[in-house]
Copies of this chain bind each other. A is one copy, B any other.
Amino acid sequence: MADNETTATSGRTATLSDVARMAGVSIATASKAINGRDDVAPATRQRVLDAAKKISFTPNELARSLINGRTGTVGLLTSDLEGRFVIPILMGAEDAFGAGQVNVFLCDARGDSIREQHHLSALLTRRVDGIIVVGRSTDPRPSLGHEIPVPVVYAYAPSVDPTDVSLTPDNREGGRMAVEHLIACGRSRIAMITGDPEYAAARDRVVGVREALAQAGLSLVGTPMFSEWSEHWGRDASALLLRQYPDIDGIVCGSDQIARGVLDTVRDLGRSVPADVAAVSFDNWEILATNSRPELTSIDANLQQLGRTAATRIFEAIEGTEVTPGVEYVPGRLVIRGSTIARR
């Protein structure tokens, strides 16, 4: 009677030995039966499985991990306060790993390197199989170093160390895409308004813009306007620009925010978008891009793809495949909306 309490709710969660006892087999056999290994008679296996189901047994991953040295977990170390980049990257990683196969520890370092270090050691102590580091801009960031016993991939912000593995959006190619699209829309008097020149993203996109223009035998109208990533600057800069060069028919905006400011000003000046002036921007931040009038044509950085690739790289490194170090540039994707092509 005392020992008859073999039901599910006995003490805490069921263990393998509970199952074994219930099925009248040894622990070893129970393990083999549950894991689908041979050397178990069909009838025995069924008995074990029934018992397992009855007490809703789930194997303890910790013990498993302890044995095979793999935890099936990955750390995502971010400094992206808003989660704007990290969430798509997380989703991409989950996709690549296969949902439920791998779980992700998300740690927010909040731009504080002490906190980052703290989280890093916590992740290592938990024996994650790999680490993805997500920066908050596309500017290169310090490396975590090479003392880390698991593979590390830098996403969004590349590592300054060329021997690390980094993935970052291809801003230069993005600039080219923007211009090529404007040209395809029949524009030729193209200007550029962008954000803080301290940002590599701002500078790289200008480079791409210039390249594409040159390739088409054109050049930028005026100089690229650098200042800050705000609607305010978009408004001010476009006012300046359109006053000085009234014949502008296309504007590349460094971000969706800037583009929204530009749209406001263009409308205030009595011009129409896209009929008179077409605008392309960057980021494709849905909340901004699809709520303006007209909606914004924007270059999406393909972050989910970036996350998938990051996860794949981690995977490869874990499997022992040689991963070539360096920065890999992930191409963006042009999302066409009303700011360049009038809806019918």
Residues of chain A touching chain B, judged by Cβ–Cβ distance below 8 Å, are 12-13, 56, 58-63, 65-66, 69, 71, 73, 76, 81-84, 86-87, 90-91, 94, 99-100, 103-108, 110, 115, 118-119, 121-127, 147, 149, 230-232, 257, 260, 285-288, 291-293
Contact = CB atoms under 8 A, between A and B. Distances in A.
Contacts of A125: 58-61
Contact of A126 (B91, B103, B118): B103
B126 A100 contact: no
Contact of A84 (B83, B90, B103, B288): B83
Contacts of A286: 82
Contacts of A58: 121, 124-125
A60 B128 CA distance: 11
A108 B65 CA distance: 23
B105 A105 contact: yes
A149 B59 CA distance: 14
A216 to B, nearest CB: 33
17 contacts: A58-B121, A58-B124, A60-B125, A61-B125, A61-B126, A62-B127, A73-B126, A76-B106, A82-B87, A90-B108, A94-B107, A99-B115, A103-B126, A104-B106, A106-B106, A257-B291, A285-B287
Contacts of A66: 60, 62-63, 66
A127 B291 contact: no
A100 B123 CA distance: 8
User: Which of A63, A115, A125 gathers most chain B CB within 10 Å?
Assistant: A125
A94 B118 CA distance: 12
B105 A103 contact: yes
B127 A60 contact: yes
B106 A90 contact: yes
A246 B193 CA distance: 39
User: Which of A69, A82, A110, A118 gathers most chain B CB within 10 Å?
Assistant: A82
A149 B13 contact: yes
A134 to B, nearest CB: 12
Integer count of this chain's copies in the complex: 2
Contact of A291 (B91, B99, B105, B231): B231
A33 to B, nearest CB: 18
Contacts of A107: 94, 103-104
A109 to B, nearest CB: 9
Contact of A287 (B59, B63, B124, B288): B288
Contacts of A86: 83, 87
A99 to B, nearest CB: 6
B83 A100 contact: no
Contacts of A63: 66
B83 A87 contact: yes
B108 A94 contact: yes
B232 A291 contact: yes
A99 B121 CA distance: 11
A115 B100 CA distance: 9
B108 A287 contact: no
A285 to B, nearest CB: 8
Q: Sorted from nearest, which 10 A-B pairs have the closest CB atoms?
A: A83-B87, A83-B83, A106-B106, A231-B291, A100-B122, A100-B118, A61-B126, A61-B125, A103-B105, A58-B125
A13 B107 CA distance: 23
